[in-house]
Amino acid sequence: MTDKKLRIKLVRSPIGYNKKQRLVLASLGLRKMHSEVVREDNPYIRGMVNTIPHLLSVEEIVE
């Protein structure tokens, strides 16, 4: 069984966006521009990513 993960990178500044979008970034663990995190690919994380696709770059990693 392959484990899928997502590499999520913050590519645009959250300045000027509403508080809910900034909270989603914080819960993903993204604080500074061009920071990256690796999270498991599950519906919860996908939903968070889909709320702010204009701020993120997402790539799938298969291990």
* DSSP per-residue codes, 1-63: -PPEEEEEEE-S--TTS-HHHHHHHHHHT--STT-EEEEE--HHHHHHHHH-TTTEEEEEEE-
CB within 8 Å of 19: residues ≥ 6 apart? none
Single pTM value for the model = 0.90
Tell me the average pLDDT across 33-52. 96
Query: 1 falls in which pLDDT band (50, 70, 90)?
Result: very low
Tell me the average pLDDT across 6-27. 96
